[in-house]
Amino acid sequence: MTATFASPDTLLNELLECTLQLQKRLLEDAEPEEWNDLLEHRQSVIERLDELLGAGIALSEEQKIRYLQPAAEADRNILSMMTRKKMKLGADMANLQKSKTVHDQYGGYGSSPSAYGAFFDKRK
């Protein structure tokens, strides 16, 4: 369906459904590739809506209440969920880097028990 023939209600409903689906996928801990597909689809719907609004079509209060308010609320939830996931990923990456640094610094001697029953510090 092209942007010139899509009704505002159809596009608004599609925007709401896509936003709710994205929220659901985030709650289910879906892979980021799935989020990206939904985000791209959602962006295309927003662009088509923007074309309609640019052509002079105005949204009614009923449309705003029925479609835009729930989509905006879900969008706020999505943003907070993505922010939390981003922070967790950053912390995981920092921990991985620390582990790598320790492993590189000690040359792997700390990971297995020593035959001598002692740990030898082999730092340079």
The CA-CA-CA angle for residues 58, 50, 5, to 5°, reads 80
List of residues 6+ apart from 57 with CB closer than 8 A: 8
**Both ends of the chain: CA-CA distance in Å?**
66
In the block, residue with structure tokens 């943003």: 79
For the chain, the domains span 8-81
pLDDT tens, per residue, the chain with 124 residues: 444 467 889 999 999 999 999 999 988 888 888 888 999 999 999 999 999 888 888 888 999 999 999 999 999 999 999 899 889 989 999 999 988 888 777 765 555 555 556 666 677 6
Against a cut of 0.85, is the pTM above it? no
